[in-house]
């Protein structure tokens, strides 16, 4: 809702983190339909476990997974927005007719995303990409193998506006790197991140010794 009301790209970072570190990191349901309802993380390892049967998250977990397809792309009357870097395909009624945008990627294992435009006729519109806040160097783009200059500031939308034709190919690369972020309520520091993915986190609290 914050993204819908404000249009600010930065709110997409929260969706991205939840997808990879929350729902996407859940172990599978067991034979009884139980999902993870407990976890323990520390510098020596981590453990996720099932703790009880039939609580509310068994329903909301399935709903959350089902909702993610609505968070990959957004639109307005003149633009289509790429919010999440996920293999997918979307149909959109552009100002000049229906187009299909196909996204192929192995993100976050790879920093490369490829987009293919399918269109019965040429159409002029803006194709906007969320530039993640964690991407210090932003993003770079090629269209049909030719580099294009795009203002790709972290936390904002990077826009390529042009007349798009059938089989146009856009290649985007994002600055994936290891970085550290303070962990809320933790004494020292920190979560080690790779792009949006938490690799390891110290979990000491005020009452614990490091």
pLDDT tens per residue, range 63-120: 777 788 889 999 999 999 999 999 999 999 998 999 999 999 999 999 999 999 999 9
Tokens, residue 112: 């490369």
Confidence of residue 183 (pLDDT cuts 50, 70, 90): confident
Please tell me the pTM assigned to this model. 0.85
Q: Which residues pair with 103 in a beta bridge?
A: 88, 115
- What pLDDT sits at residue 206? 46
Percent of the chain with pLDDT over 70: 86
Most confident stretch, 30-44, 47-61, 153-167:
153-167
Q: How many residues are recorded in the chain?
A: 210
Closest CA to 160 of 181, 176, 178, 146: 146
Closest CA to 124 of 174, 177, 161: 161
Task: Indicate whether 11 pLDDT > 50.
Answer: yes
CA distance 110 to 128: 20
Query: HSE on the CB side for 79, CA within 13 Å?
Result: 15
State pLDDT tens for residues 111-165: 999 999 999 999 999 999 999 999 999 999 999 999 999 999 999 999 999 999 9
């Amino acid at each position: 809702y914050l993204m819908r009301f404000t249009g600010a790209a930065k709110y997409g970072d929260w969706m991205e983190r939840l997808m990879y570190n929350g729902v996407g990191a859940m172990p599978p349901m067991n034979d009884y339909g139980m999902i993870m309802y407990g976890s323990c993380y520390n510098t020596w390892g981590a453990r996720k476990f099932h703790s009880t049967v039939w609580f509310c998250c068994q329903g909301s977990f399935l709903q959350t997974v089902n909702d993610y397809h609505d968070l990959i792309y957004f639109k307005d009357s003149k633009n289509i927005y790429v919010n999440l870097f996920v293999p997918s395909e979307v149909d959109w009624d552009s100002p000049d007719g229906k187009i299909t945008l196909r996204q192929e990627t192995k993100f976050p294992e790879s920093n490369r995303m490829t987009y293919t435009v399918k269109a019965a006729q040429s159409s002029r519109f803006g194709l906007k990409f969320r530039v993640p806040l964690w991407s210090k160097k932003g993003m770079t783009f090629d269209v049909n193998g030719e580099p294009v200059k795009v203002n790709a500031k972290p936390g904002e939308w990077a826009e390529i506006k042009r007349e798009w034709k059938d089989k146009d190919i856009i290649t985007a690369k994002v600055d994936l790197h290891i970085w550290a972020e303070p962990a809320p309520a933790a004494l020292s520091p920190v979560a080690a991140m790779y792009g949006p993915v938490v690799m390891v986190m110290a979990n000491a609290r005020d009452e614990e010794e490091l």
